[in-house]
Amino acid sequence: MQAGQLSKTIVLQRRDMQRDSHGAQVPTWSDVAQLRAAIVPLSGRQALVAQAFNAQLTHQILVRYTHRFADPLELPKLRIVCGSRIFNIHAAINDEERNRQVTLMVTEGMNDG
């Protein structure tokens, strides 16, 4: 992966639960990391193949490897924000198991937790 490919700055956020003034638990999002990334819309063929796994996949986000994507139990608690766009992470693929690049399979849309 060349550094020039990672042209976007994204914010990785984690969902936490906090109590509101009435004592009810409400989801909140806190920033975990700021990363450089490439956001790639799935082509028609890629989307067709991806639909076999998930009918909503819309983009791939390429980032450098970080341990935060290694724990499959933590993955559902994470989302990506890029400007006003919000991406829900469905899978994190450690490319060639080399701990250098991660391909995130995501859908774009609101996620309030």
User: What predicted TM-score, i.e. pTM, was given to this entire model?
Assistant: 0.79
Distance of CA 42 to the CA centre of its chain: 15
79 and 87 Cβ atoms separated by less than 8 Å: yes
Under-50 pLDDT residues of the chain: none
Domains of the chain: 3-108 (2.40.10.270)
Residue 79: predicted pLDDT: 93
pLDDT in tens, 56-71: 678 999 999 988 888 8
Instruction: Give the 3-state secondary structure of residue 66.
Output: coil
99 secondary structure, DSSP code: S
112 and 93 Cβ atoms separated by less than 8 Å: no
